[in-house]
Amino acid sequence: MRPVRFTLYSRNYCHLCHDMIAALESSRATRDFQFDVVDVEDSPDLEARFGEWVPV
What is the predicted pLDDT for the residue at 19? Answer: 95
Residue 55 maps to a domain: no
How many C-alpha atoms does 47 have within 13 Å on its Cβ side?
7
Residues 38, 52: Cα–Cα separation, whole Å: 15
Residue 56 maps to a domain: no
Give the residue ranges of DSSP H helices in the chain.
15-27, 44-50
pTM > 0.85: yes or no: no
What is the predicted pLDDT for the residue at 9? Answer: 93
Range of the domain at 12: 8-50
What is the predicted pLDDT for the residue at 56? Answer: 67
Residue 37 maps to a domain: yes
